[in-house]
Homo-oligomer: A and B are copies of this chain.
């Protein structure tokens, strides 16, 4: 049996702490709301869920007849699970792991034409522009919920981080384009 002592376990526990979920929903949520700082694949989620149950940190309920049910398995957190989550939250977070392929390509830019990089940077700017918009959308939605009395401070903070990250990346890319273009002019 696989060990699976990575972070996936805690992500899932954290999500189940809010409400019971299916593996599929967990995946969708991470894609939609966490994607700017975390990602998980089905290959981790489904085995992790089984492991959580076997460790007594979650329980599974077979809801074959509920509403939109298609043999879906809904998982809920246990008290032991909450304890495990709480203990992990106290531990110092590990240093973040990033893989920005565009930076790799910029770094090796001397091995291609500047136009290639400028093209990649254009795409990158457009993408980050859109992401900033998305994150601001989340911010507003959370703000509206707050007015209604639902506290979303922590979720809102992660959206805010998205705004900061994506804005910074966009600004950098704009600056990078300028510098590369100027360099071109100097040479030509």
Task: Give the interface size class of chain A.
Answer: 35 or more
- How many angstroms from the CA of A18 to the CA of B108 in the assembled complex? 9
The residues of B that contact A102 with a CB separation of less than 8 Å are: 93, 96
The answer to whether B104 touches A86 (Cβ under 8 A) is no
Which A residues are within 8 Å of any B CB, using their own CB? 7, 10-11, 14, 17-18, 34, 36-39, 82, 85-86, 89-90, 92-112, 116, 120, 123-124, 127, 151, 153-158, 160-161, 164-165, 167-169, 171-172, 175-176, 179-180, 183
Residue of B14, B39, B164 touching A107 (CB-CB under 8 A): B14
- Please name 27 pairs of A and B residues whose Cβ atoms are closer than 8 Å in the assembled complex, sorted by A: A7-B99, A14-B108, A17-B110, A37-B98, A37-B100, A38-B104, A39-B99, A82-B111, A85-B111, A89-B108, A89-B112, A92-B120, A93-B101, A94-B101, A96-B98, A96-B99, A96-B100, A97-B97, A98-B99, A100-B161, A106-B157, A106-B161, A109-B153, A157-B176, A160-B176, A161-B176, A165-B165
